[in-house]
Amino acid sequence: MRAKTATPYRPQALVSLALAVLITGCASGLSKEECQLADWRTIGYEDGVRGLPQSRIAEHRKDCAEHNVALNLDAYRSGWEQGVQSYCQPGNAYRLGRSGGKYGGICPAGLETVFLQAYGHGREIHVLETEVRRLQRTLNYKHKRIADIEVDLRDTGIDLVTGEMPTEQRVVLLDELRKLEEERAATKAEIPFLEAELEDQRQRLATASAGRPY
Protein backbone atom coordinates (compact mmCIF):
# COMPACT_ATOMS: atom_id res chain seq x y z
CA MET A 1 0.00 0.00 0.00
CA ARG A 2 1.32 3.45 -0.90
CA ALA A 3 1.57 5.92 1.95
CA LYS A 4 -0.38 9.18 1.81
CA THR A 5 1.54 12.40 1.36
CA ALA A 6 0.14 14.02 4.50
CA THR A 7 2.48 15.66 6.99
CA PRO A 8 4.17 12.90 9.07
CA TYR A 9 2.31 12.21 12.28
CA ARG A 10 4.28 12.93 15.43
CA PRO A 11 2.23 11.92 18.48
CA GLN A 12 3.30 13.89 21.52
CA ALA A 13 1.68 11.67 24.13
CA LEU A 14 0.49 8.10 23.87
CA VAL A 15 -2.59 6.99 25.69
CA SER A 16 -2.21 4.20 28.20
CA LEU A 17 -3.78 1.77 25.76
CA ALA A 18 -1.09 2.35 23.18
CA LEU A 19 1.58 1.67 25.77
CA ALA A 20 -0.19 -1.49 26.81
CA VAL A 21 -0.40 -2.64 23.21
CA LEU A 22 3.32 -1.99 22.67
CA ILE A 23 4.49 -3.67 25.84
CA THR A 24 2.20 -6.69 26.00
CA GLY A 25 1.34 -7.16 22.35
CA CYS A 26 -2.31 -7.57 23.40
CA ALA A 27 -1.39 -10.85 25.01
CA SER A 28 -4.25 -10.47 27.51
CA GLY A 29 -6.71 -8.66 25.18
CA LEU A 30 -8.20 -5.18 25.49
CA SER A 31 -10.71 -4.21 28.12
CA LYS A 32 -13.97 -2.44 27.28
CA GLU A 33 -12.62 0.83 28.69
CA GLU A 34 -9.42 0.54 26.67
CA CYS A 35 -11.41 -0.03 23.50
CA GLN A 36 -13.65 2.95 24.23
CA LEU A 37 -10.75 5.31 25.01
CA ALA A 38 -8.41 4.08 22.31
CA ASP A 39 -6.64 6.59 20.06
CA TRP A 40 -6.66 4.40 16.96
CA ARG A 41 -4.48 6.72 14.93
CA THR A 42 -1.79 6.54 17.57
CA ILE A 43 -2.10 2.75 17.79
CA GLY A 44 -1.92 2.48 14.00
CA TYR A 45 1.17 4.69 13.95
CA GLU A 46 2.92 2.62 16.59
CA ASP A 47 2.07 -0.65 14.83
CA GLY A 48 3.44 0.77 11.58
CA VAL A 49 6.61 2.17 13.11
CA ARG A 50 7.32 -1.25 14.64
CA GLY A 51 7.05 -2.91 11.23
CA LEU A 52 3.83 -4.75 12.00
CA PRO A 53 1.47 -5.51 9.09
CA GLN A 54 -1.77 -3.57 8.71
CA SER A 55 -3.58 -6.86 9.31
CA ARG A 56 -2.63 -6.35 12.96
CA ILE A 57 -5.86 -4.38 13.24
CA ALA A 58 -7.75 -7.69 13.08
CA GLU A 59 -6.45 -8.53 16.57
CA HIS A 60 -7.59 -5.16 17.93
CA ARG A 61 -10.97 -5.54 16.22
CA LYS A 62 -11.47 -9.00 17.71
CA ASP A 63 -10.70 -7.77 21.23
CA CYS A 64 -13.06 -4.81 21.00
CA ALA A 65 -15.83 -6.77 19.26
CA GLU A 66 -16.13 -8.83 22.44
CA HIS A 67 -17.16 -5.58 24.16
CA ASN A 68 -19.38 -4.41 21.27
CA VAL A 69 -17.04 -1.50 20.59
CA ALA A 70 -16.24 -0.61 16.98
CA LEU A 71 -12.78 0.52 15.81
CA ASN A 72 -12.05 3.67 13.86
CA LEU A 73 -10.52 1.89 10.88
CA ASP A 74 -9.74 5.04 8.92
CA ALA A 75 -7.84 6.56 11.85
CA TYR A 76 -5.90 3.33 12.38
CA ARG A 77 -4.95 3.05 8.71
CA SER A 78 -3.93 6.69 8.52
CA GLY A 79 -1.68 6.31 11.57
CA TRP A 80 -0.28 2.99 10.30
CA GLU A 81 0.69 4.49 6.95
CA GLN A 82 2.52 7.33 8.70
CA GLY A 83 4.27 4.84 11.00
CA VAL A 84 5.39 2.75 8.03
CA GLN A 85 7.00 5.84 6.50
CA SER A 86 9.18 6.13 9.62
CA TYR A 87 9.87 2.40 9.74
CA CYS A 88 10.92 2.06 6.09
CA GLN A 89 14.10 4.14 6.41
CA PRO A 90 17.60 2.85 5.51
CA GLY A 91 19.02 3.31 9.00
CA ASN A 92 16.24 1.27 10.54
CA ALA A 93 16.57 -1.37 7.81
CA TYR A 94 20.31 -1.71 8.49
CA ARG A 95 19.75 -2.08 12.24
CA LEU A 96 17.02 -4.65 11.65
CA GLY A 97 19.28 -6.74 9.42
CA ARG A 98 22.27 -6.47 11.71
CA SER A 99 20.23 -7.60 14.71
CA GLY A 100 19.01 -10.64 12.79
CA GLY A 101 15.44 -9.35 12.65
CA LYS A 102 13.01 -10.33 9.90
CA TYR A 103 11.40 -7.95 7.42
CA GLY A 104 7.68 -8.45 6.93
CA GLY A 105 7.38 -6.90 3.47
CA ILE A 106 5.31 -3.90 4.51
CA CYS A 107 7.24 -1.05 2.87
CA PRO A 108 5.65 0.77 -0.08
CA ALA A 109 7.29 0.38 -3.48
CA GLY A 110 8.89 3.80 -3.37
CA LEU A 111 10.83 2.95 -0.21
CA GLU A 112 11.31 -0.79 -0.41
CA THR A 113 14.25 -0.93 -2.84
CA VAL A 114 16.51 1.22 -0.67
CA PHE A 115 15.15 -0.45 2.47
CA LEU A 116 16.07 -3.91 1.19
CA GLN A 117 19.56 -2.74 0.19
CA ALA A 118 20.26 -1.44 3.67
CA TYR A 119 18.64 -4.49 5.24
CA GLY A 120 20.86 -6.75 3.12
CA HIS A 121 23.99 -4.90 4.27
CA GLY A 122 22.99 -5.27 7.89
CA ARG A 123 22.09 -8.91 7.41
CA GLU A 124 25.48 -9.62 5.81
CA ILE A 125 27.27 -8.18 8.84
CA HIS A 126 25.00 -10.12 11.19
CA VAL A 127 25.90 -13.38 9.43
CA LEU A 128 29.63 -12.58 9.51
CA GLU A 129 29.55 -11.59 13.18
CA THR A 130 27.71 -14.80 14.03
CA GLU A 131 30.30 -16.86 12.16
CA VAL A 132 33.21 -15.07 13.84
CA ARG A 133 31.71 -15.81 17.26
CA ARG A 134 31.13 -19.45 16.32
CA LEU A 135 34.70 -19.93 15.12
CA GLN A 136 36.10 -18.24 18.22
CA ARG A 137 34.04 -20.51 20.47
CA THR A 138 35.22 -23.56 18.52
CA LEU A 139 38.86 -22.50 18.84
CA ASN A 140 38.47 -21.89 22.57
CA TYR A 141 36.96 -25.35 22.94
CA LYS A 142 39.79 -26.99 20.97
CA HIS A 143 42.47 -25.34 23.10
CA LYS A 144 40.66 -26.35 26.27
CA ARG A 145 40.27 -29.89 25.01
CA ILE A 146 44.00 -30.15 24.34
CA ALA A 147 44.71 -28.96 27.88
CA ASP A 148 42.29 -31.56 29.27
CA ILE A 149 43.90 -34.30 27.18
CA GLU A 150 47.34 -33.34 28.52
CA VAL A 151 46.04 -33.82 32.06
CA ASP A 152 44.49 -37.18 31.18
CA LEU A 153 47.72 -38.32 29.51
CA ARG A 154 49.74 -37.33 32.56
CA ASP A 155 47.40 -39.07 35.01
CA THR A 156 47.15 -42.23 32.92
CA GLY A 157 50.93 -42.33 32.51
CA ILE A 158 51.39 -42.03 36.29
CA ASP A 159 48.97 -44.91 36.85
CA LEU A 160 50.96 -47.06 34.45
CA VAL A 161 54.35 -46.53 36.06
CA THR A 162 53.47 -46.31 39.73
CA GLY A 163 50.84 -48.96 40.30
CA GLU A 164 50.84 -52.70 40.22
CA MET A 165 47.95 -53.97 38.12
CA PRO A 166 46.86 -56.99 36.12
CA THR A 167 48.03 -57.22 32.54
CA GLU A 168 44.49 -56.71 31.25
CA GLN A 169 44.15 -53.40 33.08
CA ARG A 170 47.55 -52.29 31.81
CA VAL A 171 46.43 -53.10 28.27
CA VAL A 172 43.31 -50.98 28.80
CA LEU A 173 45.38 -48.03 30.05
CA LEU A 174 47.78 -48.32 27.13
CA ASP A 175 44.83 -48.25 24.75
CA GLU A 176 43.49 -45.16 26.51
CA LEU A 177 46.88 -43.49 26.10
CA ARG A 178 46.91 -44.31 22.40
CA LYS A 179 43.42 -42.87 21.87
CA LEU A 180 44.24 -39.73 23.83
CA GLU A 181 47.40 -39.15 21.83
CA GLU A 182 45.49 -39.61 18.56
CA GLU A 183 42.82 -37.17 19.66
CA ARG A 184 45.45 -34.66 20.77
CA ALA A 185 47.20 -34.87 17.41
CA ALA A 186 43.94 -34.53 15.47
CA THR A 187 42.80 -31.58 17.56
CA LYS A 188 46.12 -29.79 17.17
CA ALA A 189 45.92 -30.33 13.41
CA GLU A 190 42.52 -28.62 13.29
CA ILE A 191 43.65 -25.44 15.00
CA PRO A 192 45.66 -23.83 12.16
CA PHE A 193 42.72 -24.26 9.77
CA LEU A 194 40.28 -22.80 12.27
CA GLU A 195 42.61 -19.85 12.94
CA ALA A 196 42.96 -19.17 9.22
CA GLU A 197 39.20 -19.35 8.73
CA LEU A 198 38.61 -17.04 11.68
CA GLU A 199 41.07 -14.48 10.32
CA ASP A 200 39.41 -14.65 6.91
CA GLN A 201 35.97 -14.06 8.42
CA ARG A 202 37.29 -11.16 10.50
CA GLN A 203 38.74 -9.52 7.41
CA ARG A 204 35.49 -9.99 5.53
CA LEU A 205 33.61 -8.48 8.47
CA ALA A 206 35.93 -5.47 8.59
CA THR A 207 35.45 -4.91 4.86
CA ALA A 208 31.68 -5.28 5.09
CA SER A 209 31.50 -2.90 8.06
CA ALA A 210 33.65 -0.16 6.51
CA GLY A 211 31.97 2.84 4.99
CA ARG A 212 28.37 2.00 5.78
CA PRO A 213 26.29 5.21 5.42
CA TYR A 214 23.76 4.17 8.03
pLDDT at 16 over 90: no
pLDDT at 52 over 60: yes
Q: How far apart are CA 71 and CA 174, in angstroms?
A: 79
Q: What is the structure's pLDDT at 164?
A: 77
pLDDT of 79-110, one tens digit each?
Answer: 999 999 999 999 999 999 999 999 999 999 99
pLDDT at 4 over 50: no
Judge contact between 30 and 62, C-beta under 8 A. Answer: no
Give the predicted TM-score (pTM) of the model. 0.74
Higher pLDDT, 66 or 201: 201
pLDDT at 211 over 90: no
Q: How far apart are CA 149 and CA 188, in angstroms?
A: 11
Q: What is the structure's pLDDT at 162?
A: 78
Residue 163 backbone phi and psi in degrees, to 5: -110, 150
pLDDT at 128 over 60: yes
Q: What is the structure's pLDDT at 31?
A: 81
Q: How far apart are CA 3 and CA 82, in angstroms?
A: 7
Distance, CA of 83 to chain centre: 23
Q: What is the structure's pLDDT at 29?
A: 67
Domain map (residue ranges) of the chain:
1-87, 120-209
Q: What is the structure's pLDDT at 35?
A: 87
Handedness of CA 117, 123, 125, 128 (dihedral sign): negative
